């Protein structure tokens, strides 16, 4: 990716690294409203799913003991992107800016207003409006405070453990999380939660659909970025590798030695690749309707 081509805006990233956290949770470090004019019928957050193994690129879940906590912004510090040796944090900040500026333009074209989310960088664990967030769950989005939470060590795991190196692999993760914010801004979060409560047996299916939609929305941004000469040869392939690496089937096979589609919450490797590619090829969020397609055809 061409970092100098990414569009920037002031602020947007909060740096909580080195703040001391909340004490260990006792887990080993595994890193694992409104409506815009375009039709994305449902989607948004992880609908309170408690994870058995890994949550890769998640949305709001009940964290820690399940309590809902305040966002704890009293000690927040804005990221100083001029700090030497902080190139990864600067890259995350830059990608987050560019992704959101793209969505601002899309919302404006549809006569709606996009509200910017913030990125929170943390180490180990941190307080969120969705509960205590841990690096063990991977990156996640909390709709209650409209923030994307990232422990940067995850990106080392993405390369070393999941075999998905490259700057666009990182960008894909970030764009996926902001896809959840787009879903939340469209009011789809509430619809998914209501549907899940009304039909508990479809909880996992609904989760897969919304996660694949977020992958597709990440692809929409990638198409826009490519049109502005941000991407370089091989970037999209890096994103596809990352999407495949974190498919539920691949994670299940690597952790338990068996694959159980009934337990999927994010979709298979091929499904994640397919929807990221769909968003990129079409470049329009209208193509990201993962909820009107029969589940077996996703």
pLDDT value for 140: 96
Least confident of 1-5, 13-17, 190-194, 200-204: 190-194
Q: Do residues 279 and 207 touch, judged by C-beta distance below 8 A?
A: no
Is 88 in a helix, a strand, or coil? helix
Does the pLDDT at position 7 exceed 50? yes
**What confidence category does residue 137 fall into, taking pLDDT thresholds of 50, 70 and 90?**
confident
Question: pLDDT digits over 211-222, tens only?
Answer: 999 999 999 999
Main-chain phi, psi angles of 160, to 5 degrees:
-80, -45
pLDDT value for 78: 66
Distance (Å, rounded) from C-alpha 2 to C-alpha 94? 11
**What confidence category does residue 76 fall into, taking pLDDT thresholds of 50, 70 and 90?**
confident
Show the tokens assigned to 130: 């969705």
Is 224 in a helix, a strand, or coil? helix
**What confidence category does residue 245 fall into, taking pLDDT thresholds of 50, 70 and 90?**
very high
Show the tokens assigned to 195: 């549907």
Nearest to 133 by CA among 215, 21, 30, 52: 21
Q: Do residues 7 and 70 touch, judged by C-beta distance below 8 A?
A: no
Show the tokens assigned to 198: 């009304």
Q: Do residues 69 and 60 touch, judged by C-beta distance below 8 A?
A: no
Distance (Å, rounded) from C-alpha 282 to C-alpha 30? 35
pLDDT value for 157: 92
What does the domain layout of the chain look like in residue ranges?
A: 3-283
The whole-number average pLDDT for the span 56-83 is 47
Main-chain phi, psi angles of 133, to 5 degrees:
-90, 140
Question: pLDDT digits over 138-188, tens only?
Answer: 899 999 999 999 999 999 999 999 999 999 999 999 999 999 999 999 998
Share of the chain above pLDDT 70, in %: 78
Q: How does the average pLDDT of the chain come out, rounded?
A: 83
How many Cα atoms sit within 13 Å of 114 on the Cβ side? 21
Exposure string over 63-76, b if 16+ CB within 10 A, otherwise e: bbeeeebebbeeee
The whole-number average pLDDT for the span 6-16 is 93
pLDDT value for 28: 30
Main-chain phi, psi angles of 119, to 5 degrees:
-100, 135
Exposure string over 6-26, b if 16+ CB within 10 A, otherwise e: beeeeebbbbbbebebbeeee
Total residues belonging to the chain: 298
Nearest to 150 by CA among 72, 92, 207: 92
The whole-number average pLDDT for the span 124-131 is 94
Per-position DSSP letters for 71-114, written without gaps between them: ---TT-EE--TTSTT-HHHHHHHHHHHHHHHHHHHHHHHTT---
Which residue is listed with tokens 């409209």?
146
Is 12 in a helix, a strand, or coil? coil
């Amino acid at each position: 990716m061409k970092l100098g081509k990414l569009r920037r805006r002031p602020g947007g990233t909060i740096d909580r690294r080195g703040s001391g956290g909340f004490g260990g949770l006792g887990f080993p470090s595994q890193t694992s409203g409104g409506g815009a004019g375009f039709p994305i019928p449902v989607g948004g957050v992880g609908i309170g799913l408690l994870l058995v193994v890994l949550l890769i690129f998640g949305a709001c879940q009940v964290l820690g003991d399940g309590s809902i906590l305040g966002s704890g912004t009293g000690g927040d510090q804005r990221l100083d992107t001029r700090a030497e040796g902080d190139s990864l944090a600067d890259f995350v900040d830059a990608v987050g800016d560019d992704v959101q500026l793209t969505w601002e333009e899309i919302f404006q074209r549809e006569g709606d207003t996009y509200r910017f989310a913030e990125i929170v960088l943390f180490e180990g664990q941190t307080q969120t409006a969705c509960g205590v967030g841990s690096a063990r769950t991977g990156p996640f989005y909390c709709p209650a405070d409209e923030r994307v939470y990232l422990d940067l060590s995850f990106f080392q795991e993405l390369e070393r453990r999941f075999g998905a190196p490259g700057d666009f692999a990182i960008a894909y993760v970030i764009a996926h999380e902001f896809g959840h914010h787009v879903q939340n801004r469209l009011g789809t979060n509430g619809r998914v939660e209501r549907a899940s409560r009304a039909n508990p047996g479809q909880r996992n299916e609904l989760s897969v659909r919304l996660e694949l939609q977020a992958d597709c929305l990440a692809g929409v941004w990638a198409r826009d970025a490519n049109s502005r000469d941000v991407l370089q040869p091989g970037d999209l392939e890096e994103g596809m590798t990352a999407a495949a690496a974190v498919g539920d089937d691949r994670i299940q096979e690597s952790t338990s030695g068996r694959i159980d589609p009934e337990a999927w919450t994010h979709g298979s490797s091929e499904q994640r690749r397919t929807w990221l590619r769909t968003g990129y090829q079409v470049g329009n969020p209208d193509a990201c309707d993962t909820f009107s397609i029969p589940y077996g055809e996703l």
